[in-house]
Amino acid sequence: MQTGPQPADFADVRATNLAVVLRHVRAHGPVSRAGIAAATGLNKATVSSLVADLIERRLLRETGLAENRIGRPATMLVLDGSAYAAIGIEVTGDHLTAVAVDLAGEQLLSWRRAFPGREAEPGRGVSAIAALAGRAAARAGTRGRQVLGLTVGVPGLVDEAGAVRSSAALGWSDVDLRGDLLKALRKPEYDVAVDNDANLAALAEQRYGGHDGARNLVYLAGETGLGAGLIVDGRLLRGGRGFTGEIGRIRLHGGTLEELAGIESLIQRALPDADAEGPVTDFAPEVERVAAAARAGDARALEALRDVGRHLGHGLSLLNHLLDPEVIVLGGYFVPLAEWLIPAAGTDGATVTTSAIGPGAAAVGGAARVLDALDAGVLPALAG
């Protein structure tokens, strides 16, 4: 197997430096060419040539003049939000969320649709995802805007080829979602990717979550399942088969961590009548009932929150000591219950916070994954 860097050529140097300038403007714009040169260490002639290229690719644009430090007016540069769109779709057991953002991070659309989840055959589910993706791409692509890519986030094990190996929340196994989407979308011009939902939510937190550019961030998703997205040393961990972060499957004393600290288990313990009418499929109202019961001082709900919180604390402890994150972000249904769960869990020295992105974090992260590729130097081709 391959280790270490790949052979490089001079085109790679140019691509790397284009990406360095693009990232600098994203983080610090508006900024002048001289400012870019000073901050990156690239010389001014190189910066001018790189900026010209990025303007031609419609990734940067010039804005008004501003005084620079020595008093001469300089043309300032910002990201050009007008030319491109990145699309993310989140799939859960009961709904789809589609988000499109431009290069500057502005949301172009945010749609939520009901989704049959495990009630329907995988084929029908795939068709619904493809239809929503097609409509989102058509909408985002109006007024000459080019769609750069689409990433679909799925709860479950997704391999490196974009096939869903297994998803308990959807009742799927071995569904070639990326392949099926490419077919349904008739081999679109833009890139299509499929990823685990917690991985994408972690990317969303890294880019938009307000964690000061933390390079070590863990996202712990309380959804139908219990999954984590792991960013260590600035990179999302993938592992041997692409199956990192399956924290719910860890076997501990008393059961798996999902059985001990998952949202489904919490609902069953806190609400005696939760599955009186069959298994819970729509979690949001049940979680709201748990929160309401806790707020009203209901002893059963409070005990369930304490017990699940204690086990959640084991999860936080192991994430903290194994991966040394700067921040652990609780997402999904953990957010409305955090005021009870976190005190019961304890943080064991970790910095623990709740997601401010809210529902659809994996959709936002799907778009972020497309933009991350730009930041890594995979730039759109110059228009013919």
**By the criterion CB under 8 A, which residues form the site for a copy of itself?**
1, 3-10, 12-13, 16-17, 19-20, 23, 40-42, 212-216, 228, 230, 232-235, 237-254, 313-314, 317-319, 321-326, 348, 375-377
Minimum separation from the CB atom of position 47 to a copy of itself (A): 10
Minimum separation from the CB atom of position 379 to a copy of itself (A): 13
Rounded to whole angstroms, the Cα distance separating 91 from 246 reads: 17
Minimum separation from the CB atom of position 368 to a copy of itself (A): 12
Question: Any idea which residue has 């228009």 for tokens?
Answer: 383
Taking alpha carbons only, the member of 72, 76, 77 closest to residue 58 is 77
Write out the two tokens for 228. 């984590």
Q: How many CA atoms lie within 13 A of 140 on its CB side?
A: 32
Rounded to whole angstroms, the Cα distance separating 239 from 357 reads: 26
Minimum separation from the CB atom of position 196 to a copy of itself (A): 11
User: In the complex with a copy of itself, which residue's Cβ is closer, 94 or 326?
Assistant: 326
Contacts of 274 (CB under 8 A, 6+ apart): 267, 268, 280, 286
Minimum separation from the CB atom of position 296 to a copy of itself (A): 30
Write out the two tokens for 27. 């983080």
Residue 219 near residue 227 (C-beta atoms within 8 A): no
Taking alpha carbons only, the member of 368, 315, 330 closest to residue 208 is 368
